[in-house]
Structure 1
Amino acid sequence: MSSDDHEQPGGAEPAIETFVPPAWRELLGREHLGAAIVLAGGVLVGAINIYLAASLLPTAVAELGGASFYAWNMTIYLVAMVIATMLTGRFLSRWGNVGAYLLGFATFTAGSLTCAVSPEMALLLVSRGVQGLGAGLLSGLGFAVIRAALPARLWTRGTALMSAMYGVGNFAGPAIGGLFAQVGSWRLAFAAMAVIGAVCGAIVPRVLPRSERGSTRVPVPVVSLLMSTAAAGAVSVAGVVAGTPAKAAGIGVALLLMAGFVVHERRSELRVFPRTTYQRGSSLKWVYLTLGLLAFGVAVESFLPLFGQRLAGLPPLVAGFFAAAISLGWSVTQIGSSSVTGHRAMRRLCVLGPVLLAAGLLVQGLLQREDTPIWLVLVWVPVLFVAGAGIGLAYPHLSVAAMSSTQDPEEGGRAAAAIATVTSLSIAFGTAVAGVLLNLGGASMLDAARNVLFGLAVICAIGALSAHAANRTSLTEPADRAPLPRGA
């Protein structure tokens, strides 16, 4: 993937080295700070709320009842997020940059407020769905609007900042939820999210460029949307139902639905992903697959607190912070990785990232012990940090590769918004697969922990092969391409 990649009529290949990123102070300076806050804030609130409810629900259930619907809070939220990310392009065409963002923050704020005042579990579940719709739209908009909100030279920095918010959210969500649950004020946690959403929404008209609304109505890819939503629902249900056969069946149904999704998208003019994804010889499909496999590994964070409590006797709050070492590694490393501009170095980082993630999970599996001594628990932190660093090394460069895959504004927005769709789907799939692997351990928590860690390590390692395929494909591109946009 080289800096001299060009665009072919009908679709361009993603180019990993497209821009030379300037210093962080330009992105966070007076001219672009407001846009950076809105873009990153939208992704952050969605990421925080993926895991926020997990810490709050025990307290909420004690007050509202409805324990049998406990796990559906995560399921409904994730499915709603996936639906909204896939409709990002339509909302942009209908409402423009500012209007779409205002709608996203308003929906998220309304859902959060309703969560805060819900008198029963049924309304809380509906409210989580509304909250997920807003969060998914905001996540998709962040990657789609960056093309208009920031100059091309800041895309790498802006993308790194936004995608780092997934890591920050995974770290902050359990911590914030645990803090409010500790004092018995779960409603205040959702109210705080509503305040954050309202504040971010209030500054949108001042900091984002207004775009013209589309003159034609963008059709909804109904079949693709239904199939992908059904797949997300099946895999989310697989993560919460009891019994290995039921979980495996759910994942099998989801895989069949996704296969049908790909077949339909290749033949249809109404697509979720840009047409370049399905063209022969395109590297965009490998870029998306690598992003998905990196996000797949994040699912382990839902289970690490359990392993810490059961195998090492850690208190819940301490176990949660140990698990967040992956997100910390992701966020910190991503900020540094976005400074890399050399063609060869960026290619290597995209391959090295999945290798480090898989190696970290593998080593963590080898370190699991019954009655783990404290000195060994302390070793977990750098190991998990390295695993998260693997995500941070590759994610920003792969994201920019997808964003810069075409000069066509509509296709470019679709390619960028698809990053959030791929991430949400992969986390849902990863959580369900990890749940199946956990059940295979039976009554032995040690066996269950090793199954999850070893299994996810093998799956994430495939990302090194897909990254290599993306690099190799870009080297065989035709020479008659128009130059991709470059920074000043």
Structure 2
Amino acid sequence: MKNSDAGQIGQAPKRTKRAYVLASVMLAMFMGAIEATIVSTAMPAIVGDLGGFSLYSWVFSAYLLMNAVTVLIYGKLSDLFGRKPIIIFGIIVFMAGSILCGFSDSMEQLIIFRLIQGFGAGAVLPIATTIVGDIYTKEERAKIQGYLSSVWGISAISGPAIGGILVEYVSWHYVFWINIPLGVLSIAGLWIFLHEDVKKEKHKIDFPGAVLLTISISTLMFILVEGGVHIPWNSPLALGLMAAAVVFFALFVFQERKAPEPMMPFGIWKERSIFIANIVSLTTGVMLIGISSFLPAFVQGVMERSPTVAGFTLTTMSIGWPIAATIAGRLLLKIGYYKTSLIGGISLIIGSVFFVTMGADSGPVWAAAGSFFVGAGMGLTSTSFIVSIQSTVEWKQRGIATAANMFMRNLGSTLGAALLGGILNSSIKQYLENKDNAKAEIDVVNMLLNEEKRSALSAPLRETLQSGLTFSLHWVYSGVLFFAVLSLALILFLPRKT
């Protein structure tokens, strides 16, 4: 067996069966990937059933918040106690949250259960990726990323299709239960075939850092979602919440600098390639959630297409991602990290332009094309960043270094869901307030996402709501384009030799 960094403390011994471990890791990743595509496809139906369009972005924000906060904790714990127990724990919590989500009968319940689901999800993707970094060499990692990325392609094809079928012919509740068998199989494979030799030491876990970061991100996310909708931006409450978010983040940084085993070791950020990779992951995370969360609402509510068609427009993103990631594995060895990432940044901008110029008459193929280019950009950049980071640090920091990069993408998605969701709600509110229609409240948009209720609307009201949703989503996608341009500008600062 070829293991990278052979001989280091904590390296998996030879009895680890790499092929079976890789299969188990791919199952775990597939579980998370298919959940994301299915839920995005089902959200319009969920909102149409449960109501509460103003809470739409909270379903994503709650999941992403816990994912973002816990990913660093899990990454650090995996460096201290090994990858195996941490990822298995995460999968179990994720499955428990999924089961509860399926039993939700209100948006408030769904949001609470998504918090539980996100608490487990924080361990799955980063530690699965770290395990691959442990058991494969640098040269093998570039190639194996293609296998890992194929998970997104398979989930992209099957997820929206299964989600659309379940929503149309069974019930949206089942979209949360589809991944339970996958989790069970993944746990079995990791338990049997992954063996680690972790040095037993007494460690001090940085709980204060975790608490401070959670409070900071939660506070910022809350004001981004509710600002301009239920809380005026210039109100004392809004200003107080923004100040509190800044203060708690400053306390988090202070805590990390003095903690003996910090949750976020800022020393690894001194490497310029890691610093730029993490910041770009933040900006691309905003883009990712802006498209995956709100595109189905546009396709179903404005274009008046079925959930299956809406799922197709997201499917192309997840098809472009693995194709580009596979190509990236080869490009990395030929032209290096810098040029590979640069091509990815250009692809992100092309995809964003499609969305900014999208209208009600553009059709789902136009939306699908934009998704494909953004997916290709994500595949090129994310593969470059992960392989580069794992090749830069040693084993004892590989878990937290990988988790830090994914934390930044998750943080971007968390803040993006809140920020772009806030833009969506405030734009709709502003648009409808200028219309002479007493029924035109934000939550009336729920009716656009249910075919029967949409058909029952009067033509003037339906046109008003669709125009309002189009107007609002245009601002959302303008934000996506801004972050795409920012991502490319940051990539230009990567070391040219990489």
Structure 1-normalised TM-score? Answer: 0.77
* Structure 1 residue 99, shift from structure 2 partner: 2.1
- Partners of 1:417 and 1:218 lie apart in 2 by 19
Three-state SS of the structure 2 residue aligned to 1:341 is helix
Which of 208, 227, 232 does residue 217 from structure 2 map onto? 232
Q: Spell out, residue by residue over 1:33-61, the C-alpha distance to the aligned partner (whole angstroms, 9 max, x if none).
A: 32222223323323333454455567778
Matches within 5 A, 1:66-465: 72-93=58-79, 95-116=81-102, 125-162=111-148, 165=151, 173-212=159-198, 214-223=200-209, 225-238=210-223, 240-241=225-226, 243=228, 246=231, 249=238, 256=246, 260=250, 263-264=253-254, 267-269=257-259, 270-279=261-270, 282-299=272-289, 300-342=291-333, 344-366=335-357, 368-369=358-359, 371-372=360-361, 374=363, 377-407=364-394, 409-438=395-424, 439-440=426-427, 442-443=430-431, 444-465=468-489
Q: Which amino acid aligns with 2:382?
A: Y
Provide the identity percentage. 21
Q: 485, 490, 498: which one pairs with 1:466?
A: 490
Greater mean deviation of Cα atoms: 257-266 or 285-294? 257-266
Which stretch shows the higher mean deviation, 420-429 or 238-247? 238-247
Range 58-67 or range 384-393, more displaced: 58-67
Distance 1:66 1:435, change over 3 A: closer
Distance 1:365 1:418 in 2: 31
Task: Give me the whole-angstrom Cα distance separating, in 2, the residues matched to 1:121 and 1:440.
Answer: 22
Matched residue SS, 2:272: coil
CA displacement 1:225-259 (0-9 Å, x = unmatched): 23332343235435653735849659956973686
8 Å CA contact 2:347–2:377 kept in 1: the answer is yes
Distance in 1 (CA, whole Å) between partners of 2:27 and 2:212 is 30
- CA root-mean-square deviation: 3.6
How far, CA to CA, are the matches of 1:49 and 1:257 in structure 2? 35
C-alpha separation between the residues in 1 aligned to 2:323 and 2:386? 17
Task: Return the alpha-carbon distance in structure 2 between the equivalents of residues 162 and 115 of structure 1.
Answer: 27
Residue identity matched to 1:128 = R
Letter aligned with residue 180 of structure 2: A
Deviation at 1:217, TM superposition (A): 1.6
The number of residue pairs the alignment matches comes to 438
Alpha-carbon separation, structure 1, partners of 2:105 and 2:140: 45
Q: CA deviation at 1:262?
A: 7.3
Q: Which secondary structure does the structure 2 equivalent of 1:393 belong to?
A: helix
**Number of the residue aligned with 1:481:** none
**Greater helix proportion:** 2
2:182 alignment partner AA: I
Post-superposition offset of 1:133: 1.8
Q: Retained in 1: the 8 A contact 2:39–2:163?
A: yes
Question: Tell me, which stretches of 5 or more residues in structure 1 are unaligned?
Answer: 1-29, 476-488
Tell me which residue corresponds to 2:7: none
Does the C-alpha gap of structure 1 residues 58 and 412 become closer, same or farther in structure 2, counting only changes over 3 Å? Answer: closer
1:331-351 deviation digits (Å, cap 9, x = unpaired): 222122212234535321212
Matched to 2:471, the amino acid is: D
Distance 1:387 1:142 in 2: 24
**One-letter amino acid matched to 1:98:** K
One-letter identity of the residue aligned with 2:375:
G
Q: Say whether residues 1:42 and 2:28 are aligned partners.
A: yes
State the one-letter code of the partner of 2:28. G
Q: d(CA) in 2 for partners of 1:379 and 1:119?
A: 35
C-alpha contact (below 8 Å) 1:230/1:257 kept by paired residues: no
Query: Aligned AA for 1:217?
Result: H
Are the aligned partners of 1:112 and 1:190 in contact in 2 as well (CA < 8 Å)? yes
Query: Quick one: structure 1 residues 81 and 388, their matched pair in 2 at CA, closer, same or farther if it must change by over 3 Å?
Result: same
Residue deviations 1:147-203, cap 9 Å, x none?
323333322233454456467656755544333232333444333322211111111
> d(CA) in 1 for partners of 2:402 and 2:202?
21
Paired AA for residue 111 in structure 1: G
2:203 alignment partner AA: R
Kindly indicate whether the alpha-carbon contact (under 8 Å) linking 1:47 and 1:169 is maintained by their aligned counterparts in 2.
yes
Which deviates further from its counterpart, 397-406 or 434-443?
434-443
Deviation at 1:134, TM superposition (A): 1.7
Change (3 A) 1:122 1:163: same
Residue equivalent to 1:14: none
Q: Per the alignment, do residues 54 and 379 of structure 1 end up closer, same or farther by CA in structure 2, a change over 3 Å counting?
A: closer
**Distance in structure 2 (CA, Å) of the matches to 1:448 and 1:59:** 20
Asked whether the equivalents of residues 227 and 257 of structure 1 are also in contact (C-alpha less than 8 Å), the reply is no
